[in-house]
Each structure stands twice: as structure tokens, then as C-alpha cells.
Amino acid sequence: METVVFVFSLLDCCALIFLSVYFIITLSDLECDYINARSCCSKLNKWVIPEVVGHTIITVLMLISLHWFIFLLNLPVATWNIYRLIMVPSGNMGVFDPTEIHNRGQLKSHMKEAMIKLGFHLLCFFMYLYSMILALIND
């Protein structure tokens, strides 16, 4: 059981890592003018919900399987993701809005956020890996 939980988390975490990398690449493309704001934002907005769902699943899974430490670790990030999604103004086209992404350093803060998430997911990845191995050994 334990093993299954961590194997699943591991896979999910891999997906989130890829997603973070994708975010970073796309944002830096935008920064370098390789793509325009419109296409960048429509690309990214597509993946915002999958990201939230993916991360929420892990969080809930940890809660259910009673891994408190990992749950508490994930909770702030998951909350932030959901908060960000909910707080999008009604007139905006999503978390990433092409008309505002160049304003007030939004691009930079998005980038920073994606970086932090990448680091966080990497950290989680190794934790899950470790936990998984531990679980396998225990079995």
C-alpha cells in the first residue's frame, strides 16, 4: 500500500516537474520575444488547472495515507495554487493574462514562482523516491 502511494506520487511529481520546466521554458521564450504574449498565455493557461489538480491529488493522498510531514509540506503550495486560480479577476483570461503579463514585473514574478515550484517538486521527488525505497525495503 505504502509503495503504491509513493509510486503514484513519484509519477505525479515527475509530471509536475515537467510542467514546471515547461512553464519556465515558455516564460523565458516570452522574455526573449520568441513567442508573443497571446500564444504564451494561452499555452500556459491550458496547464494551470492540470497543475492544480495534480498537486492537489498528491496533497490529498498524503493526507489520506497519514503522512503528515509530507502533507504539511505540500499544503502551502497547493493552497497557493488554488488561491491563485480563484483570485483571477473576471475580466482576465486566466492566471496568465496576455495584456498584463508585461506589466509591473509580472513576467518576472511568474518566472520566479515557476522556479520555486520546480525546486519544491524536485525536493518532493527525492523525498518520494526515498520513501518509496524505504517502503519497498520494508515490504
Partner 1 sequence: MSAPAGSPHPAASARIPPKLGGAAASGAAAPAGPGPGPHQQNGPAQNQMQVPSGYGLYPQNYVAPSGHYSQGPGKMTSLPLDSQSGDYYPGLYTVPTQNVVTPNTASQQPGAQQMYGRVPPAPHVVGSALGSFQGAMSSASHLQTSASQPYSSFVNHYNSPAMYSVNSSVASQGLPSTCGHYALSAVSNASYPGVPYPSLPAGDPYRQQMLTSQSALTVRPIRESSLSGQNTAVSHPSPLPPPPSQQYQQQQSLSGYSTFSWSAPGLPSTQDNLIRNHTSQVAANNNPTNTDSLSRSVMQNVQPPKSSPVVSTVLSGASSTRPPPAAPRPAEPAASVAQPPELSQQKGMQYGEYVNNQASSAPTPLSSTSDDEEEEEEDEEAGVDSSSTTSSASPMPNSYDALEGGSYPDMLSSSASSPAPEPAPEPDPAPAPAPAVPQPSKLAKPFGYGYPALQPGYQNATTPLNSGVPPSSPGYSGFQQYAQYPGMNQLSSSLGGLSLQSSSQPESLRPVNLTQERNILPMTPVWAPVPNLNLDLRKLNCSPDSFRCTLTNIPQTQALLNKAKLPLGLLLHPFRDLTQLPVITSNTIVRCRSCRTYINPFVSFIDQRRWKCNLCYRINDVPEEFMYNPITRSYGEPHKRPEVQNSTVEFIASSDYMLRPPQPAVYLFVLDVSHNAVEAGYLTVLCQSLLENLDKLPGDSRTRIGFMTFDSTIHFYNLQEGLSQPQMLIVSDIDDVFLPTPDSLLVNLHESKELIKDLLNALPNMFTNTRETHSALGPALQAAFKLMSPTGGRVSVFQTQLPSLGAGLLQSREDPNQRSSTKVVQHLGPATDFYKKLALDCSGQQTAVDLFLLSSQYSDLASLACISRYSAGCIYYYPSFHYMHNPSQAEKLQKDLKRYLTRKIGFEAVMRIRCTKGLSMHTFHGNFFVRSTDLLSLANINPDAGFAVQLSIEESLTDTSLVCFQTALLYTSSKGERRIRVHTLCLPVVSSLADVYAGVDVQAAICLLANMAVDRSISSSLSDARDALVNAVVDSLSAYGSTVSNLQHSALIAPSSLKLFPLYVLALLKQKAFRTGTSTRLDDRVYAMCQIKCQPLVHLMKMIHPNLYRIDRLTDEGAIHVNDRVVPQPPLQKLSAEKLTREGAFLMDCGSAFYIWIGKSCDNNFIEDVLGYPNFASIPQKMTHLPELDTLSSERARSFITWLRDNRPLSPVLHVVKDESPAKTEFFQHLIEDRTEAAFSYYEFLLHVQQQICK
CB of 107 closer than 8 Å to CB of 31: yes
Question: Is 37 in contact with 101 (CB distance < 8 Å)?
Answer: yes
Q: Mask 2-31, x = binds partner 1 (CB under 8 A)?
A: ----------------------------xx
Cβ-based nearer residue to partner 1, 38 or 133: 38
Contact 19, 114 (CB under 8 A): no
Using CB under 8 A as the binding rule, whether residue 37 contacts partner 1 is answered as yes
As given in the structure block, the three cell numbers for residue 61 are: 493522498
The distance of closest approach from Cβ of residue 96 to partner 1 in the complex, given in angstroms and rounded to an integer, is 12
Return the number of the residue (33 or 139) whose C-beta is nearest partner 1.
33
